[in-house]
Amino acid sequence: MIDNAPLEVSIVWFKKDFRIHDHVPLATAAESSQYVLPLYVFESDYWVLPDTSRRQFDFLYQSVQELNLALSDLGQPLVVRVGSVLEALDELSNSLKVTSIHCHEETGNLWTYERDEAIRSWCASNRIPLIEHSGTGVVRRLRSRDGWAANWNKRMAAPLFGAPKNLQRIPNLSLGDLGSACQIAPAGRGCRSQYKGGRSEGLSLLDSFLSHRGHNYSKEMSSPNTAFNSCSRLSTHIAHGTLSLKEIVHQTKGLHQSGESKFKSKEISKRSLSSFKGRLHWHCHFIQKMEDQPNLEAHEIHKGFAGIRSTSDDTGNFESWKNGTTGFPFLDATMRCLNATGWMNFRMRAMLVSFASYNLWHHWRDTGLHLARAFTDYEPGIHWSQVQMQSGCTGINSLRIYNPIKQGYDQDPEGDFIYSWIPELKDVPKEFIHEPWKWERFGRYQGFSYPERIVDHIQTSRQAREKIWEVRKRADVKAESRSVMKLHGSRKRRNTNVSKASNTLG
């Protein structure tokens, strides 16, 4: 090498894939380059978006910290920058000869989509190869949904990539200050998360789920009383890539086929593992929708449903929904729990969307933004696909309008969940906890502060159903529905009611 010539490096750009195991960009770069520069950029413009929150930042920050330790053990610590990826690449390319940039494909929100387009343009202008590797079952530039499920199975069955044995330290390289990233953390937008980031925590959750917590997963995932233990709670780790989807599938499939589960009942074990594996599949199925239609976070999947709902909150009912003060105990307990913890099981998430979309007839975009900030496991592709589906905006899914009172009786029959999250109802007898307005002392004893119901849920559900079907019966809407089905519909089982699929791994 000529004296004073810039050092040749291959950059591995970490997005939300905070691990060194089964990381194809890292493994590929380490195999082909002498110097690998692992880069993560805390993007300041991203963290002011309305779908971001402090709890998401905290989880991500903890995951980056642990990634840095793992890379340091290999020999080359993480290079951290705060600002924009373009600025970081400009800076690094001024002092180093960047021979290639490796990263995972990402299906994020519209902002990350446009960011990636800008990076591709920068790389083309600077004649630097940008090599984007697939990390999930989502297919880029998909031409047809036919054969998608078989392709998912093939990708998930592929061998896992091990971590590099070592990385050569790049001399005279400024690593940046990881602590300085905290200055861009969103302030006052959501409580701190109760869930810890980092790969070690993800591995611990996976082990405990597959060894004992998931014993009754298929039966206990629907109730908030049991879901916090029986669900995997891996959704946040998958969203941030501390674990790869493929390694989770490998472990789950291997356990399912071998029958060597530590569960007490192999029969229940296989049922639960099969149910969980199905949700890993649906994870990619829903993200594929955003990959194929990047603007669906802002526009209806089915244009026939555009503009049918209100975006105003003149009554204050939407604020009551956000705060858990609607007067429906089980619904309010669910929202308060989510706001406090950052996680909720799928059925309860669907109920929250259903109430806002049908009983309040509020626009799904506002509903989705509040829930996005509340979810530590916010995954844009799944989130916006599900919010629209649960709001009846796809034209191809069955309407599922959840009755919040019936859900309470079904999922919290003794009222334990309600009592734990709504202290105002502590003196209400158990037989009235789901419908306290039927209690003769409702609102009349000293200190009672729980509100009256903000809407008639039976009447508003009926009205919403009529409005949706009025749209769906139109000839132009039926024609558009066929196009939506062709683009987004599942091919695995033609009669599958995809509205029953989970929007989160729990």
Phi, psi (rounded to 5 degrees) for 108: -105, -150
Name the nearest CA neighbour of 36 among 65, 79, 68. Answer: 79
pLDDT at 506 over 80: no
Whole domain around residue 490: which residue ranges?
Answer: 303-500
| Pair (282, 383) in one structural domain | no
- At 39-71, the pLDDT tens digits run 999 999 999 999 999 999 999 999 999 999 999
- Look at residue 413 and tell me if it is in a domain: yes
Q: Band of the pLDDT at 334, cuts 50, 70, 90?
A: very high
Bridge partner residues of 36 (DSSP): 10
- Look at residue 150 and tell me if it is in a domain: no
What share of the chain in percent tops pLDDT 70?
91
| Pair (383, 464) in one structural domain | yes
| Pair (112, 83) in one structural domain | yes
| Pair (241, 313) in one structural domain | no
- At 97-142, the pLDDT tens digits run 999 999 999 999 999 999 999 999 999 999 999 999 999 999 999 9
Residues 6+ apart with CB under 8 A from 307: none
- Look at residue 148 and tell me if it is in a domain: no
- Look at residue 188 and tell me if it is in a domain: no
- Look at residue 152 and tell me if it is in a domain: no
Tell me what pLDDT residue 447 has: 58
Tell me what pLDDT residue 220 has: 96
pLDDT at 259 over 60: no
Residue type, 337: C
The mean per-residue pLDDT over the stretch 426-443 comes to 92
Q: How many CA atoms, within 13 angstroms, populate the side-chain half-sphere of residue 136?
A: 26
| Pair (451, 492) in one structural domain | yes
Of 233, 259, 292, the domain-final residue: 292
Contact between 358 and 461 under an 8 Å Cβ cutoff? The reply is: yes
Name the nearest CA neighbour of 501 among 431, 398, 411. Answer: 398
Of 269, 292, 315, the domain-final residue: 292
Bridge partner residues of 481 (DSSP): none
- Look at residue 124 and tell me if it is in a domain: yes
| Pair (340, 489) in one structural domain | yes
| Pair (259, 313) in one structural domain | no
pLDDT at 499 over 90: no
Exposed e or buried b per residue across 272-287, where buried means at least 16 C-beta atoms within 10 angstroms of its C-beta: bbeebbebbbbbbbbb
Contact between 124 and 157 under an 8 Å Cβ cutoff? The reply is: no
Tell me what pLDDT residue 493 has: 53
| Pair (331, 460) in one structural domain | yes
- Look at residue 154 and tell me if it is in a domain: no
| Pair (207, 310) in one structural domain | no
Task: Give, in degrees to the nearest 5, the angle at Cα 164 between 163 and 166.
Answer: 135
Which of 22-26, 45-49, 236-240, 304-308 is predicted with the least confidence, judged by mean pLDDT?
A: 304-308
CA distances from 238 to 135, 205, 329, 478 (A): 11, 12, 32, 36
Tally of domains within the chain: 3
CA dist 151 and 294 (Å) reads: 21
CA dist 386 and 372 (Å) reads: 12
Tell me what pLDDT residue 267 has: 61
- Look at residue 170 and tell me if it is in a domain: no
Tokens standing for 22? Answer: 């089964």
What CATH number does residue 13 fall under?
Answer: 3.40.50.620
Radius of gyration of the chain measured on its C-alpha atoms = 24
Tell me what pLDDT residue 444 has: 65
| Pair (252, 327) in one structural domain | no
CA dist 11 and 322 (Å) reads: 42
Of 133, 150, 165, the domain-final residue: 133
What share of the chain in percent tops pLDDT 90?
82
Tell me what pLDDT residue 459 has: 98
What CATH number does residue 361 fall under?
Answer: 1.10.579.10
Crossing angle of helices 199-211 and 245-258, rounded to 10°: 20
Q: Band of the pLDDT at 404, cuts 50, 70, 90?
A: very high
| Pair (129, 259) in one structural domain | no
pLDDT at 188 over 90: no
Name the nearest CA neighbour of 455 among 273, 349, 328. Answer: 328
pLDDT at 500 over 80: no
| Pair (203, 275) in one structural domain | yes
Name the nearest CA neighbour of 399 among 454, 343, 436, 357. Answer: 357
